[in-house]
Structure formats: structure tokens, C-alpha cells
Amino acid sequence: MRARLWPLPALGLALAVAAGVGLPELDRRLGYSVPPRVTALLFGGGAEAARTVLQTIAGSLITVTALTFSLTVVALQMASSQYSPRLLRTFSTDPYVQVTLALLLTAFTYALTVLRTVRTGDGSGKQFVPQLSVSVAFVLALASVLCLVVFLSHLVRELRVEVMLVAVHQDAQHTIDRVLGDDETDRASLEELPRPPAEAVPLLASRSGFLAAVDEEALLRAAVDADAVVLVDRPPGSSLIAGTPCGSAWPRERTPFRPGTQDGLLRHAAEAIVTGHEHTDEQDVAFALRQFTDVALKALSPGLNDPTTAVHALSHSSALLCELARHRLGPRALYDGDRRLRVLLNRPDLSDLLDVAVAQPLRYGAGEPEVLARLLELLHEVAYVVRPDRPSGVTTYLRRLRTTVAEQPFPAEERARLDGLVRRAERTMRP
């Protein structure tokens, strides 16, 4: 819901209709009992003037709303074509975009709803001018104009790739705090996932899509009820196909399941695995690295040829990798209250995350010295943070980078600089 544009505007429309019906009724009930000091601040025109004001507000605001939508679509197209289609989430989750659209549609709907209550008195009906309601419409119009100015200024700033990358990094930090920030004793990281025993039964995906999240509490509860161990061997962000295995389950005591428990366990376990039609950052700590890599690859494409942006994206990848290296990574184990193993979840380790951040920029940026230099600095920074006794994949990529530098026809000065960065990374990796 946070990544959708319609919830806040829909709420504004509902409130606008309620206020457009309720405030004129309040005007009718108050009548002439409003103090003169308050009346002086309210709308003082007649019925025709009230109609003109409300019609002008409604007509101009719907035009401005269309303009706002058009500017937002242009921004989305630019972000998709020049940077990465996955950066579109930064616009749809932007509170400025949501609030601006909600306020414009709210003011338009409110003015249109109040307009229907104004009576000129030409027929048999009595003239009625809802002074308070028209005054509120005027205030909403002024607020909409101010909000539009702020939105345009914000949109110009948001179109800069530096600001987009910062937004992705902030979202990644929230994901790290949410997924890796707990120190609960019933959760632990493993070096690798164990192999399922021969009596294990496959856990089939119920829906096709990308693995968005795993409801750990529901999965743990289902495993405890069936006295079983459940393994989900697909990491967040993986593509699942309905009816194909995404894990397995087996009795904890290696005895046959109790009658009726196996089907219930598999059904509840499948329901605990949440899929979606797109990648999300709900539990996928590698999603932000994927976005940084996409921006770097777009910048290195022949159509753009912007190594500066690629280097900037790699700097964010390095900072995020160093932050992730300080947490417990790898597969995750969940235990019940008696410290018995119940659930095994596949999570990426530092080597997997390093593959996402380095593999493709190394392949497509092999001929750009600045990109290679930033990749060597990335390996040096990650090696400085991670403990020497922990497997990280830094050694593998440092060897590949050394080979890549040797194969490129760089000038002697560039080669000497890159060789110096290689030696510095090697010294950092030594215990």
C-alpha cells in the first residue's frame, strides 16, 4: 500500500465529499447566529459570486491536477529510461507526490460538492449561500497552489540521480533494521542450509511471482503444531512458479507424520510464503544493491556512457555492503520455546551480496579505469570491515579484478594506479 498512489487521494476524496455535504448543513443550521467578527472573515458575496468562485476553483484545480499527473509521468519515464525501472518505487512512495495529488483532488471534489448546495433564489426556493463552506474552498485553493509550488520544486530535485540513490539507500537502511536488526535468542544464522533428509516432502509454491516475504511467526507456528522442521530454500526476491518446490518439510523425530498433519502443515506453510508481481524491499536486503547495480549498468551503456554516475552508484553499494557486513548474514534458523530447530530460511550471505554488487559492473565496466578503481576500493572497504576468518568472496573478485586490469590496454600511469589499489586491497585482507 505504501508503494501505491491511490490510497491517500482516495481518502481525500471521501473526506471532501463528507465535508462538502456536512459544512453546508452546518451553515444552514448556524444561520445568522455567527458573530460579526467571524462573519467579516468569511465569504461575503451573493449566490452568483459564490457559484463563480466555486466553478473557478473546481475548473482550475482539475487542470492543475492533470498537469501534476503529466509531470509525474514524465519523471517516471525519465527515471525508467535513464536510470532503472526499479527506481519508479521512489516516486510512487514519495509523500510529496501522494500529498499533492490528494490535496488537489480533495479541493476539486469539495468545491464541486459545495457548488450543488448554492441556491440563487430565482425559482420558488429561498436563496442560500454557505459562507463557511465557500471560505473553506477558498482556503483549500490557496493551499493547493502553495502545495503545487512545493511539489514542482521537489520534483526538480528528485530527478537528480544523486537524490534517487540516497532515497534507495535510506529504504535499504530501513530494510536492514527491520530484517537484521533484532537480536532475539530464537533466531540464529547458519553457515549453510542443511540437506533435507530422505523422508522430506516438498513444499510447493501456491502462487507464481517473486518471493516478497515469509511470515516467520506463522511458519514457526505451523511447524510446532505438526512437530516438524520446515525448510524454505529460496531467498527473498526469487522467482516462484505455482506448483513447483520452494522448500521441504520433514518430521522432527524422523518418524512418519501424524495422520492429517502433513496436509495441514504444507497448506499453512505455503500460505506463509508471500509472493508478489514485482521485487520489493520488505525482506530482500539485496534489493537496494540490485537497484544500485542497475543504475551503474545503465550509466555504462553505450547510449549514456556516464562512468561518473556508475562510480557514484558503486559508492552507495560499497557503503551498503559495509553496513550489511556488520550483521549476521546467511541462512536463518528459527527455534521454538524449547530451543528445538523448527524453521530454516534461505538468506543471502556476504558472498551472494557481493555478486550482486560487483559481478555485472566488472563485466561491463572492464574498459573504464575509474570503474575498476572504484571496484577495487569497494573490495578494500569491505575487506576492512569483515573479519578475516569469515568467507566473503572478496578474494575471488580481487583475483578477477587483477586479471581484468592485466588484460586491458591501459596507459602505464593508469595501470600503475590500479596495481597500487590491488596491492592495498591485498594488504587489507591479510589477518
Cβ contact 138:58 at 8 Å: no
Query: Which pairing describes strands 228-232 and 341-345: parallel, antiparallel, or unpaired?
Result: parallel
Residue pLDDT, tens place only, 331-365: 999 999 889 999 999 999 999 999 999 999 999 99
Superfamily grouping for domain 186-276:
Pyrimidine nucleoside phosphorylase-like, C-terminal domain (3.90.1170.30)
Q: Give the separation between CA 369 and CA 304, rounded to whole angstroms.
A: 17
Dihedrals phi, psi of 259, to nearest 5 degrees: -55, 130
341-374 as b/e: b if 16+ CB within 10 A: ebbbbbbbbbbbbbbbbbebbbebbbebbebbbb
Residue pLDDT, tens place only, 25-45: 998 888 767 777 777 788 888
State percent of the chain over pLDDT 70.
Answer: 95
116: Cβ–Cβ under 8 A, 6 or more apart, which residues?
A: none
Cβ contact 223:266 at 8 Å: no
Q: Does 27 or 18 have the greater pLDDT score?
A: 18
Cβ contact 342:230 at 8 Å: yes
Q: What pTM was computed for the model?
A: 0.84
Average pLDDT in the chain: 89
Q: Does 255 or 179 have the greater pLDDT score?
A: 179
Grid cell at residue 269 = 506453510
Q: Give the separation between CA 294 and CA 279, rounded to whole angstroms.
A: 14
Q: How many C-beta atoms surround the C-beta of residue 26 within 10 A?
A: 12
pLDDT for the residue numbered 82: 76
Q: How confident is the model at residue 189 (pLDDT cuts 50, 70, 90)?
A: low
Would you list the domain boundaries of the chain?
Answer: 7-159, 186-276, 285-328+349-429
Residue pLDDT, tens place only, 205-247: 999 999 999 999 999 999 999 999 999 999 999 999 999 999 9
406: Cβ–Cβ under 8 A, 6 or more apart, which residues?
A: none
What is the arrangement of strands in the sheet containing 341-345, beginning at the earlier edge strand? 187-189, 332-335, 341-345, 228-232, 245-251, 201-204
DSSP 213: E
State percent of the chain over pLDDT 90.
Answer: 65
Residue pLDDT, tens place only, 301-326: 998 899 999 999 999 999 999 999 98
Burial class (CB in 10 A: 0-12, 13-18, 19+), 407: exposed
Q: Give the separation between CA 149 and CA 153, rounded to whole angstroms.
A: 6
Q: Give the separation between CA 81 and CA 86, rounded to whole angstroms.
A: 11
Cβ contact 382:392 at 8 Å: yes
Residue pLDDT, tens place only, 131-162: 999 999 999 999 999 999 999 888 888 888 89
Q: How confident is the model at residue 123 (pLDDT cuts 50, 70, 90)?
A: low
Q: Which of 203, 324, 327, 198 is nearest to 256 (CA)?
A: 198
- Sequence letter at residue 105: L
